[in-house]
């Protein structure tokens, strides 16, 4: 059944598009923004709507929804839909569309092998839905192909497998792409910050209303601190005719970034500090790739389409930092230099600034390359700020506004108030449940958060009773445990999970999910199978060896021992008390609990 749900706030009107702001849209022949939203009163809308319920359907991921919205509302002008193979190849290899227009990032719709096979059976159009089953758009199927994802990773993002975009490409996208134009029914509905969400045309209309002719955009995916504020204010101070659009991303950013709700609350508190009538705040749902040089060029194109005349580019623009070896994915000025190199064909003016540093003597911020000689300067790294939030240490007012720090502390309490997950893994009889039960009692004694116990046998009976002991179903069972654990941890609780968890795939899934919302400690009970057999009161190992019990881990099914974990011990030689103490020591060292000696002094 086709659900007809519309959010008219988001619908673009064809007539409004024709009243384009004087700055032309990027790459379009007539200078107008691309608009792929069908007029609801038009015959064309009725034609697409009448056949939509009979089309093959694709449910879009969060990232795909972000891309669809910006394709349809013109932010990705001149694109009219997801890239076909010809367009994709040109963008990946040459950073330009086939007609020569610069466009650096491939915008693609990935589908599963089965979906691709189904589509190729004769579907010339498909229906795209969001996670709420709302019909978003009909897409022409112009192309179905298998991309060279390795080449895409190397040429677009630099090739390091730890790069967030490459990791996403390798682990979260399917291996077949579908290209074609979009015919939109509605933009994806949003229920937050309705007053701050504006399409490119609505932003252009806002500039007209405010009589702004020179407007610089400031891109951010982080909370704004004093240095960001002073940098943007400097852009206003240097040109009295300049106005500012604070234009943060509320789509997808780097894993581990502060959530957009917290960030938007920070932005709201900062906006009144700008000169009256010279600054505005608009949010938009970009799915960032953190692509350094190509990302910077992409951001310029997007801001041009939103009607901006200028764009602020700072050091390390759109870079994801460093890999696990400490090597930066991009050099400090690589993104900025790439955008400057292509500034003429981008058609937007760039304002470049150095990092801002604070002079306590002057109570003032300077660009670090023009600090007066002899002035002492201060700065705090992002890592240090995150550490102070984690530990509850002071964050000085010269670094950030009181209101911002207060919001950040509410959203990110110190670790001794955060939730965490202790995830045991090991063979049956390795001592997991025994130590887990003892740990639960100890944690209840020394701290105030609630502790949830997820025992493997109990989960099997209550949550996964329909699952078999095949590898697929075992992985699904552990993924369910990981999901539930992450929900409890996100709400500030403590979870102790003690399944066998024989496979790396599902353990990694649980780690990823739980680590995003709180602490995570994997405890490997490495007790050898011989010891486990001797402890087996139920005779399960004997039954498995006699063939009376199938799919028994350690006998007829494999156990993939963890290669990396926070704690590992063999309970043949480690007592229950010693095992608990090792875990408690780790929690204390990481700041999730207060050590007993420290607690007594408080």
Q: Rounded to an integer, what distance in angstroms lies between the CA atom of residue 288 and that of residue 545?
A: 53
**Which distant-in-sequence residues (6+ apart) come within 8 Å of 598 by Cβ?**
none
Q: Rounded to an integer, what distance in angstroms lies between the CA atom of residue 232 and that of residue 402?
A: 19
CATH code of the domain in which 144 resides: 3.10.400.10
Strand-strand pairing, 143-145 and 176-184: antiparallel
User: Range of 41's domain?
Assistant: 8-184
What are the tens digits of pLDDT across the range 512-529? 999 988 999 999 999 999
Lowest mean pLDDT: which of 43-52, 485-494, 587-596? Answer: 587-596
pLDDT at 86 over 70: yes
**Structure-token match 């002094």, residue found:** 601
The residue among 150, 184, 218 that closes a domain is 184
Q: Among this protein's residues, is 220 annotated catalytic?
A: yes
Whether residues 441 and 577 share a domain: the answer is yes
CATH code of the domain in which 509 resides: 3.40.50.300
Q: How confident is the model at residue 452 (pLDDT cuts 50, 70, 90)?
A: very high
Q: Average pLDDT for residues 84-109, to the nearest whole number? A: 98
Catalytic annotation, pick one of 36, 129, 198, 221: 221
DSSP-based three-state secondary structure for 267: helix
Catalytic annotation, pick one of 73, 199, 220, 477: 220
For the chain, what is the domain count? 3
Q: Rounded to an integer, what distance in angstroms lies between the CA atom of residue 217 and that of residue 104?
A: 20
pLDDT at 598 over 50: no
Strand-strand pairing, 109-111 and 135-140: unpaired
Answer whether 580's CB lies under 8 Å from 442's CB: yes
Answer whether 91's CB lies under 8 Å from 98's CB: no
Mean pLDDT in the chain?
92
Catalytic annotation, pick one of 86, 222, 355, 377: 222
Whether residues 310 and 451 share a domain: the answer is no
Q: Rounded to an integer, what distance in angstroms lies between the CA atom of residue 311 and that of residue 175?
A: 35
Whether residues 343 and 220 share a domain: the answer is yes
Whether residues 118 and 169 share a domain: the answer is yes
Whether 193 is covered by a domain: the verdict is: no
Answer whether 53's CB lies under 8 Å from 133's CB: no
Which phi-psi region, left, alpha or beta, contains residue 27 (left: φ > 0; alpha: ψ -120 to 50)? left
Please tell me which residue, 382 or 221, carries the higher pLDDT value. Answer: 221
Q: Average pLDDT for residues 353-368, to the nearest whole number? A: 93
Give the pLDDT confidence score for residue 596 in this predicted structure: 56
Whether 2 is covered by a domain: the verdict is: no
The residue among 381, 396, 411 that closes a domain is 411
Whether 336 is covered by a domain: the verdict is: yes
| Listed residue (580, 556, 551, 557) closest to 567, CA to CA | 580
| Residue 521 token pair | 């400690």
Whether 190 is covered by a domain: the verdict is: no
Whether 132 is covered by a domain: the verdict is: yes
Whether residues 562 and 585 share a domain: the answer is yes
Whether residues 456 and 515 share a domain: the answer is yes
Whether residues 355 and 307 share a domain: the answer is yes
Q: Strand pairing partners for 139?
A: 126, 182
Whether residues 590 and 546 share a domain: the answer is yes
pLDDT at 264 over 70: yes
The continuous run of DSSP H or E covering 515 comes out as helix 504-515
Whether residues 392 and 424 share a domain: the answer is no
What are the tens digits of pLDDT across the range 230-262? 999 999 999 999 999 999 999 998 877 888 999
The pTM of the full predicted model, rounded to 2 decimals, is 0.83
Answer whether 281's CB lies under 8 Å from 210's CB: no
Q: Rounded to an integer, what distance in angstroms lies between the CA atom of residue 537 and that of residue 391?
A: 45
Helices marked H in 193-341 — which ranges? 200-210, 226-237, 260-270, 292-305, 334-341
Backbone angles phi, psi at 170, to 5 degrees: -80, -30
Q: Average pLDDT for residues 411-428, to the nearest whole number? A: 92
Whether 194 is covered by a domain: the verdict is: no
The continuous run of DSSP H or E covering 513 comes out as helix 504-515
The residue among 391, 411, 431 that closes a domain is 411
Per-residue b or e along 543-567, where b marks 16 or more CB atoms closer than 10 Å to that residue's CB:
ebeeeebeebbbbebebeebeebbb
Whether residues 420 and 400 share a domain: the answer is no
Give the pLDDT confidence score for residue 595 in this predicted structure: 67
Backbone angles phi, psi at 314, to 5 degrees: -110, -175
Whether residues 104 and 38 share a domain: the answer is yes
User: CA torsion angle for 152, 157, 159, 164 (degrees, to 10)?
Assistant: -110
Q: Average pLDDT for residues 299-308, to the nearest whole number? A: 97
CATH code of the domain in which 236 resides: 3.40.50.620
Whether residues 316 and 179 share a domain: the answer is no
What are the tens digits of pLDDT across the range 152-202? 999 999 999 999 999 999 999 999 999 999 999 999 999 999 999 999 999
Q: Among this protein's residues, is 221 annotated catalytic?
A: yes
| Residue 102 token pair | 């610069």
Q: How many residues in the chain?
A: 602
Answer whether 550's CB lies under 8 Å from 452's CB: no
Give the pLDDT confidence score for residue 391 in this predicted structure: 80
pLDDT at 15 over 50: no
């Amino acid at each position: 059944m086709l659900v007809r749900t519309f959010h008219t706030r988001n619908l673009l009107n064809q007539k409004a598009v024709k009243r384009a702001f004087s700055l032309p849209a990027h790459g379009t022949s007539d200078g107008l923004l691309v608009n792929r939203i069908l007029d609801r009163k038009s015959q064309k809308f009725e034609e697409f709507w009448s056949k939509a319920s009979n089309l093959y359907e694709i449910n879009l991921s969060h990232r795909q929804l972000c891309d669809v919205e910006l394709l349809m509302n013109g932010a990705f002008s001149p694109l009219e839909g997801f890239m076909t193979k010809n367009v994709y190849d040109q963008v990946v290899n040459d950073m330009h569309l086939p007609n020569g227009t610069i466009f650096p990032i491939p915008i693609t719709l990935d589908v599963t092998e089965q979906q691709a096979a189904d589509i190729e059976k004769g579907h010339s159009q498909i229906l795209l839905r969001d996670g709420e089953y709302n019909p978003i758009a009909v897409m022409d199927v112009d192309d179905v192909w298998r991309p060279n994802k390795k080449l895409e990773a190397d040429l677009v993002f630099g090739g390091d497998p730890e790069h967030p975009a490459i990791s996403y490409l390798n682990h979260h996208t399917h291996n077949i792409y579908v290209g074609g134009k979009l015919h939109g029914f509605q933009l994806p509905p949003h229920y937050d910050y309705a007053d701050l969400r504006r399409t490119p045309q609505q932003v252009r209309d806002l500039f007209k209303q405010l009589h702004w002719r020179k407007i610089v955009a400031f891109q951010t995916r982080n909370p704004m601190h004093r240095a960001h504020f002073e940098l943007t204010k400097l852009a206003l101070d240097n040109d009295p005719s300049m106005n500012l659009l604070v234009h943060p991303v509320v789509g997808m950013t780097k894993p581990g970034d502060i959530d957009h709700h917290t960030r938007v609350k920070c932005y709201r508190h900062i906006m009144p500090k700008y000169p009256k009538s010279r600054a505005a705040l608009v949010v938009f749902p970009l799915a960032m790739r953190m692509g350094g040089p190509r990302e910077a060029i992409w951001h310029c194109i997007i801001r041009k389409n939103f009607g901006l005349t200028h764009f602020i580019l700072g050091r390390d623009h759109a870079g994801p930092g460093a890999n696990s070896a400490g090597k930066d994915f991009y050099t400090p000025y690589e993104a900025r230099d790439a955008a400057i190199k292509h500034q003429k064909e981008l058609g937007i003016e760039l304002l470049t600034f150095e990092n801002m540093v604070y002079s306590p003597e002057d109570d003032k911020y300077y660009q670090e390359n023009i600090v007066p000689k002899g002035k002492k300067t201060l700065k705090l790294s992002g890592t240090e700020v995150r550490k102070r939030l984690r530990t509850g240490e002071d964050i000085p007012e010269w670094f950030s506004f009181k209101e911002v720090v207060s919001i950040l502390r509410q959203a990110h309490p110190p670790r001794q108030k955060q939730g965490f997950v202790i995830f045991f893994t090991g063979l049956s009889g390795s001592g997991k449940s025994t130590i887990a039960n003892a740990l639960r009692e100890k944690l209840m004694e020394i701290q105030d958060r609630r502790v949830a116990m997820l025992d493997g046998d109990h989960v099997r009976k209550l949550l996964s009773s329909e699952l078999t002991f095949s590898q697929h179903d075992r992985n699904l069972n552990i993924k369910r445990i990981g999901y539930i654990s992450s929900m409890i941890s996100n709400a500030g609780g403590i979870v102790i999970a003690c399944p066998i968890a024989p496979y790396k795939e599902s353990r990694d899934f649980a780690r990823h999910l739980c680590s995003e919302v709180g602490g995570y400690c994997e405890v490997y009970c490495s007790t050898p199978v011989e010891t486990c057999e001797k402890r087996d009161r139920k005779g399960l190992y004997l039954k498995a060896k006699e063939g009376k019990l199938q799919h028994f881990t350690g006998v007829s099914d494999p156990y993939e021992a963890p290669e990396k974990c926070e704690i590992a011990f063999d309970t043949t030689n480690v007592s229950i008390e010693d095992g608990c103490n090792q875990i408690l020591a780790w929690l204390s060292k990481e700041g999730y609990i207060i050590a007993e000696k420290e607690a007594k002094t408080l």
